[in-house]
Amino acid sequence: MQTLPSLTIGQYTVPYPIVQGGMGIRVSGANLAAAVANAGGIGIISAVGLGMQSPHFNIDEKNPKKRQTEFFRANQLALIDELQKARALSPKGVLGVNIMVAARDYESLVRTAVDHGIDLIFSGAGLPLNLPEITAHRPEVALVPIISSVRAAQVICKKWQRLYDRLPDAFVVENPQAAGGHLGAKAEDLGDPAIAPETVLPALVQYLSGFERPIPVVAAGGICDRASLTHALSLGASGTQIGTRFIPTEECDADPRYKEFHLQARPEDIVLVPSPVGLPGRALRNAFVDRVNRGDTPGLKDQCFANCLQVCKFRDRRETYCILRALDRACRGDVDNGLVFAGSCVGGSPRIQPVAEVMAELVAG
């Protein structure tokens, strides 16, 4: 089998064309990110909701206003903790942070990450149109939008060039037909060949070849072994972003029960679930997801304690559920009453493995 190419994004090069996808809440923290970086990939901390399980935050049900201020501040402080821990665990590794545009504390998290030595910022769940402006004081930080269509890449490139004289350092193309977490397409459009990687990846590579300097494309969604990795590269991708395959690992930051639940999952356990942000998510079937898919509103009595998202059906219309609480419950180990995101490619791990072993399998075939 052919040796794999290295991956260069901005001024950062890693031996293997593998980015570990940012996974919130606290599924990919400092431990997982550092382990992937040490094994020759790019390790990513997900910045979403880090304050939840941190010494900086305490849910005080009697004073919601105070909690909101404290929550955003706690997110910031907890991100600093994770960044410092990851750098201590991987002094020379390439480390990035994943920050969702849809989060109301997006700008504060981006500033915090660049001011504390992060190498790259990956940003999706919306178009990161002002990312170069927020990071202008640290131009060495590589900026990587996460998109699902060529159209989104065109909008970002045009706007960044016109307003900031800058281009993205890479794009992650998330395949809504297979990726875990929130999807960049409606449920009814998931069968459309126009959104398949076989269509989008070559078209995006073609569009980006018109720029003077290379802008690598990183394929995400459903990549879990050497065959799927090689297939993504054959479509023109320079690298891959892998999430689900890194969950049943020793270093994954989630509770052991979360990792076990993933380890035992089979492809038939994968379901779509509505989310308060509008677009669906892909997750493992459990009692929580069954209730949501029946139209129940689990946790209706929950208060919106953080006002964390720009758009939220739970906050505004009491529909669906509080995603912060649902993701937080899951990663603390309550896999019946929490939301356990997963990509379509589950069931490939023989046991909870060290990240180095998973990396070796991914690159060796």
Ligand X SMILES: Cc1cc2nc3c(=O)[nH]c(=O)nc-3n(C[C@H](O)[C@H](O)[C@H](O)COP(=O)(O)O)c2cc1C
Which positions lie near ligand X, rule CB under 6 A? 21-24, 27, 46, 48, 98, 100, 124-125, 146, 174, 178-181, 220-223, 241-244, 341-343, 345
CB of 212 to ligand X, least distance (A): 28
CB of 61 to ligand X, least distance (A): 26
Residue closer to ligand X (CB basis): 105 or 174: 174
CB of 23 to ligand X, least distance (A): 3
Residue closer to ligand X (CB basis): 91 or 365: 365
Residue closer to ligand X (CB basis): 64 or 226: 226
Residue closer to ligand X (CB basis): 135 or 317: 135
CB of 316 to ligand X, least distance (A): 21
> Phi and psi (nearest 5°) for 131?
-60, -40
CB of 352 to ligand X, least distance (A): 16
CB of 355 to ligand X, least distance (A): 14
Residue closer to ligand X (CB basis): 68 or 344: 344
Residue closer to ligand X (CB basis): 60 or 198: 198
Residue closer to ligand X (CB basis): 222 or 299: 222
CB of 21 to ligand X, least distance (A): 3
CB of 124 to ligand X, least distance (A): 4
270, 282 contact by CB (below 8 A): yes
Residue closer to ligand X (CB basis): 241 or 275: 241
- Going by DSSP bridges, is the β-strand pair 239-242/217-220 parallel, antiparallel, or unpaired? parallel
Alpha-carbon gap, residue 223 to 231, rounded angstroms: 9
